[in-house]
Amino acid sequence: MVALFFRELPERLRSLDDTMQAHKADEAARVAHTLAGSCASIGAKRMRSLVADLESSAKQCAWEKTAPAFVSVKAAAEELSNELVRMKVLS
């Protein structure tokens, strides 16, 4: 499940970024909600929390908050990936 999460993550992040850039609140919130669920399913609590915050900002059309939130989500994903590689869960 973890490997699948990381295989799909780049496309999900691209989709999230595209919808935010286009100010498509409903779509951005939907993509973020799906990603938050995926984070929860693998136990990525910190990343799930960050994505949930981004989802909330998108729902409110608070675009000034989504960009920094997206940077935080990407950083959390990188940290998680690095930790899982270190633990030999991912290669």
Q: 84, 90 in Cβ contact below 8 A?
A: yes
pLDDT at position 91 over 90: no
pLDDT at position 81 over 90: yes
Share of the chain above pLDDT 70, in %: 100
Residue 50 inside a domain? The answer is yes
Q: 25, 6 in Cβ contact below 8 A?
A: no
Q: How confident is the model at residue 7 (pLDDT cuts 50, 70, 90)?
A: very high
Residue 57 inside a domain? The answer is yes
Domain that holds residue 58: 9-86
Alpha helix segments (H runs only) across the chain: 2-21, 25-41, 45-59, 63-86
pLDDT digits (tens, 9 = 90+) for 13-57: 999 999 999 999 999 999 999 999 999 999 999 999 999 999 999
**How many distinct structural domains can be found in the chain?**
1
Residue 3 inside a domain? The answer is no
Closest among 69, 81, 79, 89 to 8, alpha carbons compared: 81
Residue 16 inside a domain? The answer is yes
